[in-house]
Structure 1
C-alpha cells in the first residue's frame, strides 16, 4: 500500500494546481492513499490573509475542508483521499489552533515548525555572522520547539524535523545531538510520527528530511515514521517512495503508517 500524506495546492499561494490534480497524479502513480495537507491559515492573526504566498486565507479554510470532503466521496473506491492540514506550531498560540482543529473531522494534522525565534527556518540570512555558540543556541531552540510540538497533543505527524538545513546544509553539522535526542524521546513518548519528507531534494541541501543519522536515532527511541513528498506540484506526488522504503528497511524499520480518523494504520515495509 503506497501512500503520501503531504501535499499542497494553489490555496497556499506557492504551490501549483488543484487538489483534484494531486489526487489524479496519485492514482497515476499507483498510490492507494493520498493525503491533502495544505498550509493552515494564521489563525492567531486578526487579519484574514496576513501572509499571502505562504499560507491560505482564513476565509478559504472552510472551502478547503468542503472540497476535500467532496473529493473523498467522488474518488471512493479508486483511491482513499484523506483530509489533513499542515499546521504551523506557535507555542504561544497553541490554544487558538487547537480550538479550531478539534471539531473538524481531520484524518491527521501535521505539525511543522516553520519559524524559530521569530524568523523563518528557511531564511538564509539568519545564519550570517553568527558565532558557533550562537548557531548552537539556534539549533537547540529549534529542537526545543519540535519537542514542544510533540507534547502539544495537537498533531499526529511532525513535519520535516530537520528542514532548517534546507538552505543551510551546515546546520546538520552543528553539534547538538543531545537536543535532537531529547526531541526524539518526547516524540516517542507522545506517540506521534515523523515524516520522511522528500522535498529536501528541491532545496540546497538535497536529499530527504530527516537525515539518516536522525532516522537511526529515531528507530533507537521507538519513533514511528510515515511518508510525505511535500509536493507543491502534482508531478512530485509519491516521489522517491520506493527508495525511502528501501532505506528505512536498511536502517532497521519494519513498518510505517498513515492515519485515518486520527488513528494510525500500520503498513509493513
Structure 2
C-alpha cells in the first residue's frame, strides 16, 4: 500500500493545480491513498485572507472541504482520497482553530510550526547577527512549540519537524537542544501521533528530507510512528521519493508506517 498524506493545490496561493490534478497524479504514481492537506486559513486573523500567497481564505474553507469530499466519492474504487488540512500552530490561538476544524469530518490534521516569535521558520534573515547562544535558544524554542503542538489534542500528524533548516542548513548543526527534541518526540509517542517524512526539503537550500536520520533514529527509540508526505506544491511531486524513504526507514529499523482514516491510525507494513 502506497500513500502520500501531504499535498497542496492552488487555493493556498503558492502551489499550482487543482485538487483533481493531485488525485490524478497520485493515481499515475501508483498510490493507493492520497491525502489532500492544503494550508489552513488564518482563522484567528480579522481579515478573510491576510496572506493570499501563504494560505487559503477563511471564506473558501467550506468549499475546500466540500470539493475534497466530492472527489472522495468520485474516485472511490480508483484511489482512496482523504480529507486533511495542514494547520498552523499558534499556541495562543488554539481555540479558533479547534472550533473551525470541529465542524468537518477530517481524516487527519497535520500540525506544523511555521512561525516562531512571529517570524517564518523559512526566513533565513532571522539568523543574522545571532551568536551561538541565541541560535541555541531559537532551536530550543522551536522544539518546545513542537512539543506543545503534540500535546494540544488537535493533530494526528506533526509536519516537517526540523524544517527550520530549510533555508538555513546550519540549523541542523546547532548542538545543545537534544533534550528538547527528545521531549517533543516523547510527546508525539504519548499522544499516539505520527511524524511525517517530508521530501520537500529537496526543493530548499538544505536538500534532502525532513526530519534528519538522527531524529528518525531517536523517534524509533521512543516508539514514534511515521508517515509519508511529499508536501507537493506541483502535481508532479506527488509520491516523490516514496520508495527511497521506505528503504531508508527499513535501514533505520522501522517495520511499519501509518496513515489516518477518520482520525484513526492505520498501520501498514513497510
Shorter-chain TM band: over 0.9
Aligned partners of 1:120 and 1:25: how far apart in 2? 30
Q: How many residues align?
A: 269
- SS where residue 85 of structure 1 aligns? strand
**What corresponds to 1:204 in structure 2?**
205
* 1:102 Cα offset (Å): 1.4
Q: Deviations over 1:122-146 (max 9, x none)?
A: 0010000101000000000000000
**What corresponds to 1:111 in structure 2?**
111
- SS where residue 34 of structure 2 aligns? strand
| TM-score, normalisation: structure 2 | 0.99
Aligned partners of 2:171 and 2:84: how far apart in 1? 29
**What corresponds to 2:266 in structure 1?**
265
Once the two structures are superposed, the pairs formed by residues 60-209 of structure 1 within 5 Å of their partners are 60-175=60-175, 176-209=177-210
* 1:103 Cα offset (Å): 2.3
4+ residue stretches of structure 1 with deviation over 6 A? none
Q: Deviations over 1:79-126 (max 9, x none)?
A: 000000000000100111011111210000000000011100000100
Q: Deviations over 1:49-82 (max 9, x none)?
A: 1111000000110110000011001000000000
Verify the 8 A CA contact 1:200 1:209 in the aligned structure 2: yes
| TM-score, normalisation: structure 1 | 0.99
Aligned partners of 1:33 and 1:71: how far apart in 2? 13
- SS where residue 106 of structure 2 aligns? coil
Aligned partners of 1:76 and 1:180: how far apart in 2? 40
Aligned partners of 1:18 and 1:178: how far apart in 2? 42
Aligned partners of 2:89 and 2:163: how far apart in 1? 14
**What corresponds to 2:238 in structure 1?**
237
Range with greater deviation from structure 2 (138-147 or 97-106): 97-106
**What corresponds to 1:254 in structure 2?**
255
Give the alignment's Cα RMSD to 1 decimal.
Answer: 0.5
Verify the 8 A CA contact 1:110 1:155 in the aligned structure 2: yes
- SS where residue 180 of structure 2 aligns? helix
